[in-house]
A = this chain, B = another copy of it.
Amino acid sequence: MRTTADTEPGSANVAVGELGGTPVTRQVLDILVAWGVTRVYCCPGSTEAAMLDAFVGRDDIELVLVSHESTAMAAADAEARLSGRPAVVYVHTNVGLANVLSHLSAARIAYAPVLVLNGLKPSVLAGRDGFTTLPHPDLGLRDLVKWDRVPASADSLPADLERALGIATAEPAGPVWLGLPQELLETTDPVDPRYPRPLPGPRRSRPSRAELRGVADLLTGATRTVLVSGGEVARHGASDLVVALAERLDATVLHEDRRGFERSSYPTRHPSFQGSYDARHPAVANADAVVFVGCQVFREFDVNGGPALPAAARVVHVHVDPSRIGRLHEVDHALVGHTEEVVRDLLDALGPRPATTPARTPAPTSGSGPSLSPHGSPAHRDLTGWVRPLVESLTGDENYVIDATTAGPALLGALPQTRPDQVLTTSSGSLGWGLGAAIGVALAQPERRVLAFLGDGVFQFGLPALWTAQRYRAQVTFVVLNNEAFAAVGLALGRFGGEAVRRGDWLGTDLSGPHLAQIAGGFGLHSERVLTPDGVGAAIGRASQPRGPSLVELMTSAKEE
């Protein structure tokens, strides 16, 4: 893992005969590599020299430079989701940390094991209120990470780093934070040779026999079962097993409610699939059993408790995170454990389909999209003319990222989802996540192009990501649905029904003005603006040609002729 460099003796700081950095920063990278980390998303500052220098000349781990920390955070979140391994962000002091917090909430919700390394000024400066120090440099982390620590010394750093990676990846997985004071990174003391240590094996929990038996009995007795498939099914590689479970139970399958949707988990072309969860969905209304597998139940937006649970059905919730069970609604049965293990256990407990039962294919309902969105609005309907040619222009094999507040539901219902994780999105409400996330997806799966569907408000939040996309030639087509508005704010004003509605003065919503394709061109991307839906197909085709990123701006605000 280490290489002996043939350079001349270096400065006093640097151990001779190794590559760059210091013994401890080289060891940090060795530990990350041992955990399968191949890149670190970094927006550096002047405290990071000893760490940056350690990357020089290494070919087993890459520093991916970003021009704003928010890009790094979203990219790492997406990469961790796709790889299932820890992904790493490195940011500079409290001002850098502040800029990851918004997207850190997205990683937290998605159980993404992201390690946030945070270069800190030398500890002695903090006590003296030095430059970019705070008494409590961890800002608002306590709600956003599973674990946070500043190592007490350089000696304890490797163990703390391995602990951080272990805790991030232990189920339920999630982000962690490690503060790295400059003096620890710059010490030239020799390091403890026991690190990196052998990786821990997988630790997957399963529910008890009695709990499994109870659910299996319920499902054996049920005749109208609905399976609701959530993002944890994809994260735990259980999609094929959930398909098998649906077939075994003759179940109708729905995706989880869009407010909690994080990632594709069930093939939408499978005959059992019938759209998104909604209490008014006919399959739900008629069900005698509903099994939520790896879902949030639910992510509540308004003070309405989120979607209702069906009154007439028995409800089962399968999740790896025991604290997620019963948060909003009591359920009849809970199975806590790793999704793949639980579904396999359930299939075993159910046994093979009785020979006397004919296979039943659920009657498809009209369309596969979430046609009954409780937050429907004119903005959604107007997009139909744009979404159809957009979807027709796809090969169906790309990866998709959605970060579009009012356009999201229509896209989520229309995009092909033949693979787990083919669509990634966030239920965090953190605007701009999608630009960085698309880069993370592109770097993690370079063989496929990514299409990132963005609102125009979102686009401005994530703008600096275009620089990183271009620098690393990320195979991303950014597709901006430009309605020239914070349309969600307009919807809220509409629901409020006050003076804004009476006067037609939609204050705080008008984002018109910028030419987003031209802005993207300034970053070096192939880009074009499309004024009518009939131009979509060709534009998407042209945008797929260049090796590297591109942008297509769809002027959905344009008046229809």
A interface residue numbers (CB < 8 A to B): 5, 7-8, 10-14, 19-21, 42, 44-50, 52-57, 63, 65, 67-68, 93-96, 98-99, 101-102, 105, 122, 124-125, 128-132, 134-136, 138-144, 183, 186, 259, 299-303, 327-328, 427-431, 457, 460-461, 463-464, 466-467, 470-471, 486, 488-489, 491-493, 495-503, 505, 507-511, 513-524
Contacts and interface: CB of A to CB of B under 8 A. Distances in A.
Contacts of A49: 489, 492-493, 495-496, 498, 500
Q: Which 7 A-B pairs have the closest CB atoms?
A: A20-B499, A139-B140, A11-B497, A519-B522, A518-B522, A98-B101, A49-B496
B135 A507 contact: no
Contacts of A519: 518-519, 522-523
B303 A125 contact: yes
Contact of A10 (B46, B471, B493, B498): B498
Contacts of A68: 460-461
Contacts of A125: 300, 303
Contact of A46 (B11, B95, B492, B522): B492
A500 B53 contact: yes
A509 B63 CA distance: 11
Contact of A94 (B19, B63, B105, B136): B105
Nearest to A67: B460
A42 B137 CA distance: 27
A56 B499 CA distance: 6
Contacts of A144: 134
Given A140-B138, A514-B467, A502 B8 contact: yes
Q: Among the interface residues A56, A96, A499, A519, which one has the most CB atoms of the partner chain B within 10 A?
A: A499
A130 B300 contact: yes
B498 A13 contact: yes
B20 A500 contact: yes
A5 B505 CA distance: 15
A150 B414 CA distance: 41
A432 to B, nearest CB: 8
Nearest to A46: B492
A12 B466 CA distance: 45
13 contacts: A5-B499, A11-B497, A13-B497, A48-B508, A54-B499, A56-B505, A65-B510, A93-B429, A98-B430, A129-B300, A131-B427, A513-B524, A521-B522
